[in-house]
């Protein structure tokens, strides 16, 4: 499937939100812009697809998950799982497996956001216990209930991408959350246009076979949402003076 020919289901507008990484301030701005867009365009149906990586690196991981939890209560939301979200689940389940990577890759910022102090010589099991006690149960339920992929119309949504040559229904969890080079370098169409994050770009990258919505919000201050309507697309982001800029069709 090729972007331009790909379509959402009739009357459905999809808002695909890139990696947030603890920037609840930007997410709040973007959600207001999305709601304003919904009020203006009045789609028959709408879907917010969060593409994963909600925590780590930025300073407001807890507030980010709380905003997503609140949005999920409206019933128009799909929450996908990124590699950082999986790392949190893994750390809580087995602190000795991958805990060091998570702490080095933004986990300390997430712990701090929940009021959990961490030092270089912490016992990982004790640290995980303090983290679990500090995290509201609904935040953990949100992460644990997140999905690895979502398909709607001619679009396939995953955090990192897909393995070329493998049917979309047979993709491995590792590739869906982690893949980069083999996917990013692929120029041929996939069965559906793949909408993803995981690899930061300066602005939304709209290619014939895939769309990247990760604009490195935690460092750039730009959180991006790709809006898909029928065979048309638009972009909302937090770079404008009003917190939302639009371009593209």
DSSP H/E element including 13? strand 12-17
Q: Which CATH architecture has domain 12-84+148-237?
A: 4-Layer Sandwich (3.60)
Confidence bin at 122 (pLDDT 50/70/90)? confident
Residue 186 CB partners (closer than 8 Å, separation 6+): 164, 209
Residue written as token pair 């409206």 = 74
Computed on alpha carbons and rounded to an integer, the radius of gyration of the chain in Å comes to: 18
Range of weakest confidence among 96-110, 160-174, 223-237:
96-110
Q: What is the pLDDT of residues 52-80, one digit of tens each?
A: 999 999 999 999 999 999 999 999 999 99
Domain spans of the chain, in order of start: 12-84+148-237
Q: How far apart are CA 192 and CA 114, in angstroms?
A: 39
Confidence bin at 9 (pLDDT 50/70/90)? very high
Q: What is the pLDDT of residues 171-227, one digit of tens each?
A: 999 999 999 999 999 999 999 999 999 999 999 999 999 999 999 999 999 999 999
């Amino acid at each position: 499937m090729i972007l331009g020919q790909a379509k959402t289901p009739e009357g459905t507008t999809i808002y695909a939100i890139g990696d947030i990484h603890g920037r609840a301030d930007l997410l709040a701005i973007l959600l207001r812009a999305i709601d304003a867009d919904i009020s203006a365009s009045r789609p028959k149906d709408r879907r917010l697809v969060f593409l994963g990586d909600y925590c780590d690196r930025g300073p407001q991981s807890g507030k980010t998950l709380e905003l997503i939890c609140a949005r999920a209560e409206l019933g128009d939301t799909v929450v996908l799982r990124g590699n950082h979200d999986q790392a949190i689940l893994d750390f809580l389940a087995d602190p000795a497996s991958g805990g060091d990577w998570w702490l080095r890759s933004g986990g300390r910022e997430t712990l701090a956001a929940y009021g959990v102090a961490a030092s270089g010589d912490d016992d990982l099991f004790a640290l995980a216990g303090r983290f679990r006690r500090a995290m509201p149960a609904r935040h953990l339920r949100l992460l644990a209930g997140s999905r690895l992929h979502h398909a709607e119309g001619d679009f396939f949504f995953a955090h990192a991408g897909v393995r070329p040559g493998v049917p979309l229904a047979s993709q491995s969890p590792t590739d869906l959350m982690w893949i980069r080079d083999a996917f990013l370098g692929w120029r041929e169409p996939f069965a559906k246009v793949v909408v993803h994050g995981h690899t930061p770009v300066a602005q939304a990258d709209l290619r014939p076979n895939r769309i990247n919505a990760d604009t490195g919000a935690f460092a750039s201050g730009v959180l991006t949402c790709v809006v898909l309507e029928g065979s048309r697309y638009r972009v909302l982001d937090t770079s404008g003076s009003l917190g939302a800029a639009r371009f593209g069709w």
